[in-house]
Structure 1
Amino acid sequence: MTLRVTGGDVSVTVRGDAVGETDGVLGRLAADGVPAALMGGNASLWGPEATEKAAGRLGWVHAPDRSRRLLPRLDELTERFAGLDHVVLAGTGGACLAAEVIARAQGRSLTLLDTVDPHQVRRATRGPLDRTLLVLSGAETVETDGVRRVFERAFRDAGVDPAGRIVAVGPPGSPLETSGHTFVAADPEVDGCFGALSAYGLVPAALCGADVRRLLDEAEALIPSLLLTYDNPGLVLGATLGTATANGRDRLLIADDGSGPAGLDRWVEQLVAESTGKNGRGVVPVVVEGPAAPGFGTTRGVRRLVLGEPAEGADLAVSGPLGALFLLWEYAAAVACRVIGVSPFDRPAVHESEEALAGLLRGAEDGTRPVVIGCEPVLVDGEVEVHATGDMLEGAKDLRDVLDAFTHAAPSGGYIAVMAYLDTADDTAGIRPPFARRAAHDRDAQVAFGLAPRLLHSTGQAYKDGPRTGLFLQITGAVTTDVDVPGRPYSLGTLQLAQAFADLRALRSREHTVVRLHLRDRAAGLARLEAALNG
């Protein structure tokens, strides 16, 4: 059985049991007038408790029109900063990932820093500073504050005035508005999670040379289809995602077949996780390497999505132009949240991790250097320290034993999340596939892999407050060359470790099982981990 719905050059295909499971829900959504209500900005769609917050978060449904008001400003900025072809984006959340996807799709160069890893930040500051433009997108967090301060020092050391090399994007009234840097006001009714087509995503994309008008045109072409009661691709996609949880499928496997925009899988991952994962419910997304990847086969409790054309074994396939896909997925996530019974705009776990980090750094307010102290490892294997609580690893003699015990502790039909506080340049590609084979064979479980702190502002929400079917492996690594943060009594390395410990605290406070691996040497430690996984 197959259901295929198209509109605005977007195609959504649903196959197999998912068609029957979705049919009744589609009828209820249509009878309730959800399409017109959502596109009309009706804030009551997610219940009375969510109405107040939702009322100030629905500007994204009008983004194809509202964001056109930015175009003259973007034209002025691109002309002013012409010649600055090393564009660095510092920020967190979905809109920053969207900007990176846009740049890659249009063959433009954009360096995304949604991390404070000192190796990665140091590498970015060693670019051609005479041609570098730094864009700060979103609220100024501890992370973006640190990156901004490091770049300001780098600019000054190179004889460049930072005031002329930094563009900040934030809501009206943001402290960045009076910082002395070029400021672009974003729509106050849009946040980063649903902000792909807002200033948060479009300003950095435009400054690296992307054609953002094309994206808005693509999104606008989809709007008539999103108003339809039937044959509405966004409604079908949202209903299929939402009904999956009611039918025991709380994980969404995401495979990119290579025909669509590179990186879109990670953007979809953060949107679905951050919007749906709360109150013990939601969809936990797992990005895999492709339709033939380990873990994409026959396991329980999953929906299988292909970004591209329908593939064997997939329940869902979605394709279309990038601008339309951004709007489609945001619409579908909002619909899925109504079906699941959660508000798409609450992110309590994200805020808790931020507060835990602030607590660890609180002493820094008076100039005292924060001290992040870890416990003694329960086992050391080569360059890998193993940190854990409880007796799960009792009797383990080496890293292979640790991984065996850890995998066997995963809930049958659940998932394992690997959270790596490392550099994008660290060779982590060999971790997920063998781990996924092991978990599928032993526990019929999935393995998700993500870099942190990116996941703190996205999948971390679903990991902590979504379905309680996960087990968590945190990886931290020694810093070879640290970077002090000017004006702060801590370094980027200290900040990165504090982020990891804050996340660890938030997970354990919910009684989730977490094991931390600390790599005393990153390259050697990753090689040892890969060898143990393949052993």
Structure 2
Amino acid sequence: MGLAYPDEQELEKAVEQLVEDQVASRIAGRDASLWGPEAEEEASKRLGWVDLHLTSVPLVEQVTSLRDDLRGRGLDRVVLCGMGGSSLAPEVICASAGVPLTVLDSSDPDMVREAIDADLESTVVVVSSKSGGTVETDSQRRAYEHAFEVAGIDPAERIVVVTDPGSPLDVEATEKGYRVFHADPQVGGRYSALTAFGLVPSGLAGADIGALLQEADEIAEDVAADDETNPALVLAALIGVANARGVDKLLLADAGSRNVGFGDWAEQLVAESTGKQGRGVLPVVVAGPHSPNADPSTPDEVVGMIGPMRDDHPVAASGYGFAVDAPLGALFLLWEYATAIVGRMIGIDPFDQPDVESAKQAARDMLGGGSSAPVAAFTDQGVTVYDTSGWLPEDVTTVREAIAALLDELDPERGYVAVQAYLDRYRDPSLAETRDVLATRTGRPTTFGWGPRFLHSTGQYHKGGPATGVYLQITSDPDQDLDVPGRPFTFGQFLLAQAVGDASVLSGRGRPVLRLHLDGSEGARAALREALG
């Protein structure tokens, strides 16, 4: 497969073919046959997102009314317990609107404790899960229920649930007297930004969700049109044609966008939708145009700016890239259409996630004693090194050498580095700088994900996409562990099981994984920073 950017004629031809096949209007008409017979059953249940700019409008008044009631009772701190699309969309919506929202999308015991201990008296908790079976969200809900009860507060006065109608969580929440909002069951999690999953927590936090739907409505006709000027068709063609040529990574750089953190939402949409059957598009999210890895120096990257076109941005000189600047509601719908179309172009089902369950099962096996505990290779300066599949050379005895050995496994032409930090992202935000350090060091596309939230997004691509990645996991002892009420495990045990389980699945598929476990001391963190450089 050649690595070369498509020329303008190829792109025009691709768009013309999409127009001829009436792809946009067929998506708008919920034609589930677009992705082939094997995908048709799943797609037939996952196309409700095309009409959300209309069908979600009644939610606006309901959410606003509840928000006014809660604030009248002094409840103005909103905490969201959710994973994947259930948390990423509200996080972007609220950050862009400049309203506070605490997103609890972690199993880290210190992070859970910190969220619960902060101003419980004024807190309302939104629990978001399609079924309620997501263990992270269920554990967070249990912890909050317990905290409210200990404080003498009725959980029914403070917990709002967003779930699919008739789900086990719907039944349980209704029995407990919680306020329940039903999401559209015909929409998958990563396409759910404009459902109750995105709108309820955002609206309760103070974002103008009515305006968000209006923004989507204003672009709906354009992205559903079989026309060569359709921005979704053009965006999909840019990405899809490049992918066919081996340009399978999509660098997303913030270029002064009003939409704070949009790249993180787009990352989970694109990676989880396309990364399967050994194919896919890997999003690489960078902070801005001058981030060390923002220069498209590798021929396997398409470069995209989120925000207005800038002459000083690397995309201006790359010869192959794009800039997308639009209101947030319009961006959600545009990227959903484009991602679904890319799925058709590369021949996969953009609505399933077949490899996400494997990591969940591996974590359950660890917790249940169904798999053996990992054996450490060695310990150096408070950092214990684990090599899941035996790829690490026996003569490696330091953290620095271990990291160097992992990077030696990197394909210099097609490879990427994925850093996975199973830590408190509010306490240790500087760890995200690891991405820039390794991108500079390797000259290769590098991603960074906070665990366990990335398991519900890029985790699918890691296991189902092209086998070109090397994986650096960072875990740590917590300051203090925390029980999960009603469960035979703690948050710390669950978080570690998630990391170990995912490493075992990756290793079983031939991916090199290096886990560095910190003893929780500042000395161990300093040793990690020194070894990375």
TM-score range (shorter-chain normalised) is over 0.9
- 1:294 equivalent to 2:292? Answer yes
* 1:510 positional shift: 1.2
- 1:224 equivalent to 2:227? Answer no
* 1:428 positional shift: 0.4
Task: Indicate how the Cα distance of structure 1 residues 525 and 374 shifts in structure 2: closer, same or farther if over 3 A, else same.
Answer: farther
Q: CA–CA distance in 1 between the matches of 2:150 and 2:523?
A: 34
Who is 1:283 aligned against?
281
- 1:136 equivalent to 2:133? Answer no
Who is 2:496 aligned against?
497
Unaligned 5+ residue runs, structure 1? Answer: 1-15, 364-369
Who is 2:48 aligned against?
59
Task: Indicate how the Cα distance of structure 1 residues 379 and 87 shifts in structure 2: closer, same or farther if over 3 A, else same.
Answer: same
Residues paired across the two proteins, number: 508
- 1:160 equivalent to 2:161? Answer no
- 1:91 equivalent to 2:82? Answer yes
- Contact 2:364 2:497 survives alignment (8 Å): no
Amino acid corresponding to residue 510 of structure 2 in structure 1:
E
Who is 1:172 aligned against?
165
Q: CA–CA distance in 2 between the matches of 1:494 and 1:268?
A: 30
SS at match of 1:87: strand
Match of 1:108 among 91, 99, 102: 99
- Contact 2:391 2:512 survives alignment (8 Å): no
Q: When the two structures are superposed, what TM-score results if normalisation uses the length of structure 1? A: 0.92
* 1:18 positional shift: 5.9
SS at match of 1:532: helix
- 1:438 equivalent to 2:435? Answer no
- 1:193 equivalent to 2:186? Answer no
Who is 2:16 aligned against?
27
Moved more, 198-207 or 428-437: 428-437
Q: CA–CA distance in 1 between the matches of 2:521 and 2:27?
A: 47
Moved more, 61-70 or 393-402: 393-402
Partner deviation per Cα, 1:164-196 (whole Å, 9 max, x = no partner): 110110111012223221111111101211000
* 1:396 positional shift: 2.1
Moved more, 323-332 or 421-430: 421-430
Who is 1:75 aligned against?
64
- 1:399 equivalent to 2:399? Answer yes
Unaligned 5+ residue runs, structure 2? Answer: 316-320
Who is 2:318 aligned against?
none
Partner deviation per Cα, 1:26-50 (whole Å, 9 max, x = no partner): 1111110111101111111101111
* 1:360 positional shift: 2.9
Who is 1:39 aligned against?
28
Amino acid corresponding to residue 147 of structure 1 in structure 2:
Q
Q: When the two structures are superposed, what TM-score results if normalisation uses the length of structure 2? A: 0.92
- Contact 2:6 2:241 survives alignment (8 Å): no
Who is 1:367 aligned against?
none
- 1:239 equivalent to 2:271? Answer no
* 1:17 positional shift: 4.8
The percentage of aligned residue pairs carrying the same residue is 44
Q: CA–CA distance in 2 between the matches of 1:143 and 1:192?
A: 15
- Contact 2:275 2:464 survives alignment (8 Å): yes
- Contact 2:340 2:350 survives alignment (8 Å): yes
Amino acid corresponding to residue 266 of structure 1 in structure 2:
D
Who is 2:314 aligned against?
313
* 1:429 positional shift: 3.5
SS at match of 2:366: helix
Q: CA–CA distance in 2 between the matches of 1:50 and 1:429?
A: 36
Pairing of 1:196-211 with structure 2 (within 5 A): 196-211=193-208
Task: Indicate how the Cα distance of structure 1 residues 521 and 18 shifts in structure 2: closer, same or farther if over 3 A, else same.
Answer: farther
Moved more, 326-335 or 522-531: 522-531
- Contact 2:127 2:159 survives alignment (8 Å): yes
- 1:119 equivalent to 2:110? Answer yes
Amino acid corresponding to residue 68 of structure 1 in structure 2:
V
- Contact 1:242 1:340 survives alignment (8 Å): yes
Q: CA–CA distance in 1 between the matches of 2:152 and 2:336?
A: 43
- Contact 1:372 1:497 survives alignment (8 Å): no
- Contact 1:276 1:337 survives alignment (8 Å): yes
